[in-house]
Amino acid sequence: MDSNKLLVSTDKEKLDIPFIHSFLTNAYWSKGRTLEQVKKSIENSTCFGLYLNNEQIGFARVLSDKVIFAYLMDVFIIEEQRGRGYSKYFLNEIFNHQEFRDVKKWMLATKDAHNLYKMFGFTTVTNAEKWMEK
């Protein structure tokens, strides 16, 4: 992997909204999400774009108070760029971003990327009986 060609940016002006929407509306966790919903979720989150040679190939967003808690969501790398180490590079940049370095508890939900997130210290939820959802 040549990380010199990669750029991780939190600049929302760089985000390719139609690209992000196209991916998310077809992903298992966000199937059918509308363009307006994608735009609103971007407005209300810290967003990360991953760019290869100035073309967006990935996206993630974080909801956080930037001290105690952060929730990582909507993480993806387009299929044709997977298997090259980009996701590990991207996640490392997110977790080490200056705004999130001190966050004590990170959470996420995944159906199929457990091994990837375990590399970053994630485990299954302990004391799951304490957690609730609506």
Averaged over successive runs of 10 residues, the pLDDT of the chain (134 residues) comes to 83 98 95 96 98 97 97 97 95 96 94 92 89 88
The predicted model scores a pTM of 0.92
Q: Does domain 3-122 have CATH number 3.90.280.10?
A: no
Give one word for 16, left, alpha or beta, with left for phi > 0 and alpha for psi -120 to 50: beta
Domain residue spans of the chain: 3-122
Element (H, E) at 118: helix 114-118
pLDDT at 127: 86
CA separation for the pair 32, 103 (Å, rounded): 31
